[in-house]
Structure 1
């Protein structure tokens, strides 16, 4: 019995040891498998921006502007000093509570003269050692004085080399040497989800850094250029500052925000640097931008229309009108044609065409494909020159029949005969004042509104009825002509 018990004990010990070894081996394999699985999962972390900021912020500048305003006399008497009457009663050394102008302080500017006052602040960045600085047109436009402040506190007075309102790109220059320019990147290589950061002066707070990711590329807002959309915090004062990649290269110029409050709400828009630098070269050389034009009014291709005319996809630019005697008319373009390709560039969205044609040198003979009556037709067009945008005609300001501001923020009037002749239009209304939603969308006095949604605009009274009947929960589309070029502009009515 004793021997048998000992044998049984030995057998039990052997079985336990074997089982333990299996458990240990299994645990080891499990741990190894888990480690392999963990090693195959990427570890996400926020990048360190300190090196990028350290080498870049010295090339980003603060821009403040001034303007001249007319001064009017105070009803309290000459000198525009409301406390002069009190000094007559209480003596020449009277100082009002809380201060006020001292007796011997310089008198304000006399009536009828101009006084220089602060206008606004923005940002910019150095692109050359000899003082060329890139910023937005809306930062410097209309300014009487432009002052550039470096991060070390040095301030320079700048002059405008050239501006381009259509792209909102401005080139200014200061008299300086040995500056450190920011390296220019390639905006075409950007990808959604890529980290980017902005440096600028939001609300005048100089050299402020914010970061985020690229939210969308080629965001079409109805403007001349497609934008880079990001979630980088950009606020008033950031305009004109650089959008940088993690290598410190400029990939965009911060230009706009989409906001209902006036401050950052998660969507900011930047001008692609590739487009901006093409503008810069012309501004340096000529002080202005020369663009091509072919003389057509265009719009989007609706899905139902594409099916009806046999177009494989609802893409391209639908021609609604052809300028008489213009380049397109001479090439044989007809109303109802759909322009699907210009040279080697496919026209996917209707807004692609003005950009492609505008970037073509005037005088170029270009190949253009149109869809007509169920087939593609190839035409040759000689690109004309887009004339500089003229200011609103004097007749518009003097027109007595202007309507009251509507839900779009517009006042419009009949189009004077000479403007109709110059712009080659038969119907429509002339914008005399633009505010609210319309101004925010880029509509300005002097523009001609041809169409509202799917209705042709005939006169101010009919336009007022169309606007009053708009669904205020939906954006309205306006076909706007400016300087011989038409474009659809989307405006959300004020509630």
Structure 2
């Protein structure tokens, strides 16, 4: 029986299909990996010069303020469930140095020496020393600090300094790459990267700040350092971690830079922050809370505490209320 002759070009078409399949099988993963894993080298080279190490000297107290630095605590202790401010402080030692030394990070926001950091980094400091990326050291003066937002503005007597550029934290998307530069445990100019895990995150007793949650590795000494987007713009100040051990466990939180810049403008103008208050503490409505309150979805803000005789109390707001709309806009 004679075979049907192949149609012209069929062999060539089959060879092209086989080639395409091979390229898809072997080439696509490499291409996908190159897209998924950005190169941070240019960002670090350009912006790292504006990141500084901040060290302070404080008069020794009877005990460390930070629960995770108390030697007798272990990870099974419920105190480890608290959110930690991550400045390493020298534990008490009989006959030791009479002063406490603390380390943190910061970043230069203007060529004339203004630097942003965390308020807890410079808390009760008697002396502040700033070391630049090029190893020059300067004494710093405190322009102002706001404990509620954990933002502080300090200044060194220098000019023509490299400084950061600012981005829009509202434009961040969950899953977007971000990068931190700081001095964890005193290791200056350390770089870590991760993704945005959530936005507008509220923390217990920290409900003034809508934190940016990331999985960027943050450790003691990173406090006050910048969080960059891939364009090399600062979008936040690394401020807190959640940990059972005092070390990084994949949950870190940054103050949005637009909030920090608003705070620093007030600190620069008057050395303090003036803000209105309504006299309530609020927290995020989780899925579990929504179910317990019979809500269709997890949205709104739960009033967890009301200041007696405060503006909210006088207006009829009660503990346990859930605010779903404010000024005509839904509260998400």
2:212 equivalent among 209, 218, 228: 228
Equivalent pair of 2:306/2:312 in contact (CA under 8 Å) = no
Q: Distance in 2 between matches of 1:171 and 1:234?
A: 21
- Using the size of structure 1 for normalisation, the TM-score is 0.52
Where does residue 233 of structure 2 map in the other structure?
Answer: 249
Where does residue 333 of structure 1 map in the other structure?
Answer: 316
Higher relative contact order (CA 8 A, sep 6+): 2
What is the CA-CA distance between 1:197 and the residue it aligns to?
1.0
Equivalent pair of 1:119/1:143 in contact (CA under 8 Å) = no
Equivalent pair of 1:322/1:334 in contact (CA under 8 Å) = no
Where does residue 214 of structure 1 map in the other structure?
Answer: 196
Q: Distance in 2 between matches of 1:194 and 1:329?
A: 40
Where does residue 300 of structure 2 map in the other structure?
Answer: 315
How many residues align? The count is: 288
Q: Distance in 2 between matches of 1:299 and 1:53?
A: 36
- Using the size of structure 2 for normalisation, the TM-score is 0.75
Q: Distance in 1 between matches of 2:326 and 2:154?
A: 33
* 1:165 matched to 2:147: yes
**Alignment CA distance shift 1:245-1:179 (3 Å):** same
Q: Distance in 2 between matches of 1:294 and 1:118?
A: 38
Could you give the per-residue CA deviations for residues 123-180 of structure 1, whole angstroms, max 9, x where no partner exists?
Answer: 0000011111000111100111000001111110001111111111111111111112
Q: Distance in 2 between matches of 1:230 and 1:312?
A: 24
Q: Distance in 2 between matches of 1:320 and 1:201?
A: 37
Where does residue 149 of structure 1 map in the other structure?
Answer: 131
What is the CA-CA distance between 1:253 and the residue it aligns to?
0.7
Q: Is the partner of 1:51 in helix, strand or coil?
A: helix
Equivalent pair of 1:317/1:347 in contact (CA under 8 Å) = no
Q: How does 1:367-406 map to 2 (within 5 A)?
A: none
Could you give the per-residue CA deviations for residues 24-47 of structure 1, whole angstroms, max 9, x where no partner exists?
Answer: 144135247648967998623221
What is the CA-CA distance between 1:237 and the residue it aligns to?
0.7
Could you give the per-residue CA deviations for residues 317-347 of structure 1, whole angstroms, max 9, x where no partner exists?
Answer: 45875744x44466x4354765433325433
Equivalent pair of 1:322/1:335 in contact (CA under 8 Å) = no
Gaps of at least 5 residues in structure 2 are: 63-96
Q: Is the partner of 1:292 in helix, strand or coil?
A: coil
1:266 equivalent among 250, 259, 266: 250
Equivalent pair of 2:300/2:330 in contact (CA under 8 Å) = no
Gaps of at least 5 residues in structure 1 are: 1-10, 72-114, 349-495
What is the CA-CA distance between 1:195 and the residue it aligns to?
1.3
**Alignment CA distance shift 1:299-1:156 (3 Å):** closer
Equivalent pair of 1:125/1:133 in contact (CA under 8 Å) = yes
